[in-house]
Structure formats: C-alpha cells, structure tokens
Amino acid sequence: MAMKTVSTWKSHGGVQGVYTHASDVCGCDMTFAVFVPPQAAEGPLPVLWYLSGLTCTHANVMEKGEYRRLAAELGIIIVCPDTSPRGENVPDDKDDWQFGSGAGFYVDATVEPYARNYRMYTYITEELPALIAREFPADMERQSIFGHSMGGHGALTIALKHPDRYRSCSAFAPIVEPTTAGWSSKAFERYLGSDQDSWRKYDACALVKDGARFSEFLIDQGAADSFLDEGLRPWLFEECCREAGISLTLNMREGYDHSYYFISTFMNDHLRWHHQRLTA
C-alpha cells in the first residue's frame, strides 16, 4: 500500500497534493488528493472527507471547489478520493455515464465482474483512512464527511453506518434514495444484484427507516437543479429525518443548479459548520 506522490503545490501556506497507491481493496492503482494546511507543522489536524459525484475524479473539487483558503485558515485537512476504480483491467461500460468508471456509488459490488474492483465503500471506510493515518498529520479521532450528488449519497450512508466515527456530515445535492431513482437504481442492480433488500444498506432513506441514526445533517440543494425531481428529491430524506427525530437543515438555494458554481458558493458555509463540530 506504498503511496507515491504525483504532484504537490503550495497553497495558502499549506500543501495541495495528489497521490497514488496500489489498492488491495479495488485491485488497481487509486488516485486521491489531500490538502494539508500550515498548522500541521504544530501537530495532527482534523480530517474532512469530500466525496465527489458521478463522472468526477479527485480533480473536480480540487480545481473548482475553492476550499483551500478557508481550510488553511481553520486548520482542516481535506481528503478527496476518486469516485471509482479505474484502469485497463477494470470492467466498465463506456456507453453509460451512470455506471462503471466514475460511477462507483460508494458501494461494495457483489455481482461479477464488478465485485473484483468496485469496492468503494470498503476503500473509503477502511483502506484509504488507514493510509491517511499513516502518511499524513491527521487526527483520526476527529473526522467529518461531506460530498456532492452521488458523493452526497455516499457521505450520508457512510455517516449513518458509522455514527461514532464522524463528528458531522453534510451534502450538496445528494441522491437521498438511490434505490428508487432511475439514474441510480439500474447501477445498484448491476453492482448488487436483483435482491433489492441488499440495496437498503446503501440508501440513506432506507437506513433511517431501518433504524440507523446520526446526530444531525446539513444539506444545500439548488432549486434550479435539473436533477432535482428525477434523482435527488431531498424532501424524501427530510421526511425520514423528521419521523426519526434527526436534526436536518435543508437549504433550498433559489437559482442554483448542480454545478461547481453552486458548490463553491456554499463551500465555506459547510467548512465552517464542520469546523465547529470538529473542534467542539
């Protein structure tokens, strides 16, 4: 699991790096980005995980998310994994942008040929955290998680299944009920098989209905998002949280869409929100 440095840049007094390692979990080389703020010279810092959306890599938020200035000010390490395994020997469907490379959905696939590589849930929750703990000045007792779209789905489900690990969880335009959304349910069937009961552990609404709990959530959603009614439907999660007694702040942002223009606008709000909980 040796890590290799692809590139580093000094930014806001800290270091933005891109790294690779051979992943045993995914059976291929994986790439990820880490921003380490200047306060790391004084000791370990809290970690905030950002999970990207469909078609994205680590680079989308790294280049367009505008998180470094405030992360440097607050003293938070930002980790940005890739969204799926990649490589010549990794099975893919190049004609479907909602499946395969770039669309791992943060699940552990159980159906061949995808089960050999598409194990993003275990990669994000076990293998990569172990690498981060070993290679970076990270205080793994203080972790939080957030993400966008498919990555928002990943953040919500991972937090719900690990409430003692993460101090906070937020999302930009998350897919809250992927088991019933047309653009994700077909991926679930190809990754997980036809037994829909097995899908529930990767569905935020189903997890809450089945008894999973987390302290609170923050969601920002663009009201002009073209995917709002088809795949996102945050009101479904709002109803689940209300019935379960989970605190949820859902901000509907008029005029904003699904893009990084939207994400970067509210990135600082999320960083400050997480910082308050990471340092409480």
Distance CA 209, CA 200 (A): 10
- The DSSP line for 232-246 is I-HHHHHHHHHHHT-
90 phi, psi to nearest 5 deg: -95, 125
Distance CA 191, CA 93 (A): 12
Catalytic choice (225, 270, 274, 275): 225
Please determine, for residue 91, whether its predicted confidence score (pLDDT) is greater than 70.
yes
Band of pLDDT at residue 185, cut at 50, 70 and 90: very high
Distance CA 12, CA 215 (A): 32
Catalytic choice (58, 153, 258, 275): 258
Q: What percent of the chain has pLDDT over 90?
A: 96
Distance CA 158, CA 162 (A): 6
| Per-residue pLDDT, 49 | 99
Paired with 225 in beta bridges are none
| Per-residue pLDDT, 13 | 98
Distance CA 111, CA 186 (A): 13
| Mean pLDDT (whole number) for 220-248 | 97
Supply the pTM of this predicted model: 0.97
pLDDT, tens digit, for every residue of 94-121?
889 999 999 999 999 999 999 999 999 9
pLDDT, tens digit, for every residue of 67-88?
999 999 999 999 999 999 999 9
| Mean pLDDT (whole number) for 136-155 | 98
Catalytic choice (149, 168, 170, 184): 149
| Per-residue pLDDT, 1 | 62
Q: How many CB atoms lie within 10 A of CB 72?
A: 20
39 phi, psi to nearest 5 deg: -65, -15
Please determine, for residue 182, whether its predicted confidence score (pLDDT) is greater than 90.
no
Please determine, for residue 161, whether its predicted confidence score (pLDDT) is greater than 80.
yes
Please determine, for residue 183, whether its predicted confidence score (pLDDT) is greater than 90.
no
| Residue 225 annotated as catalytic | yes
| Residue 149 annotated as catalytic | yes
